[in-house]
Amino acid sequence: MTDGLLPSWMLWALLSACFAALTAIFAKVGVEGVGSDMATLIRTAVIFLLLIGIVVSSGQSLAPSALSGKTWLFLVLSGLATGASWLCYFRALKLGPASQVAPVDKLSVVLVALFGVLFLGEKLSAPNWLGVVLIAAGVILLAFK
C-alpha cells in the first residue's frame, strides 16, 4: 500500500529513525549522572507506562490468552533481545561518544538484511546488497577516529 510517492510504512520508519537519533542524544546526556543499567530501567518504565496508555486509550484487546503460543514465544524472544540491546546500548553510551556508538548500533540494519535472507527467505537485489555493503562501510568510517 502506498500513500502518494512513498510506501505507507516509510513515514513510520523515518519517524522511527528520528526518534532513535533523539534517543541517542537524550540518553548520552542522561547516563552522565547514573549507571547505565539504572538508565535502562528508567527508560523501560517510561515506555511501559506510555504503552499501557496507548493500548488502553485505543481500545485494543488486553486478552493475552487470545494470542497463539508461537506469537507469545517470538514476542518474548523479541522482548529479551530488545532488553539485551538496550542494556548494551546504554553501557556503550556510558563509555563512548554518541557519534560513534549510534552508528555501530546501526549495524543492526546490516544484520537484519543478512538474517532476513538466511532465516526468513527474503531476497535482496544487487542494489540492495550494495546498500548493505555501503551501510557497513559507513559504520566502519564513523566508528573509528
Low-confidence ranges of the chain (pLDDT < 50): none
Q: How much is the pLDDT for 92?
A: 94
CA distances from 94 to 22, 91, 127, 139 (A): 16, 5, 36, 19
* H or E, element range at 18: helix 8-30
12-38 per-position pLDDT tens digit: 888 998 999 999 999 999 999 899 999
**pTM surpassing 0.85?**
no
Residue 109 pLDDT: 94
At 116-126, the pLDDT tens digits run 999 999 999 99
- Return the beta strands (E) in 37-128 as ranges: none
d(CA 111, CA 80): 17
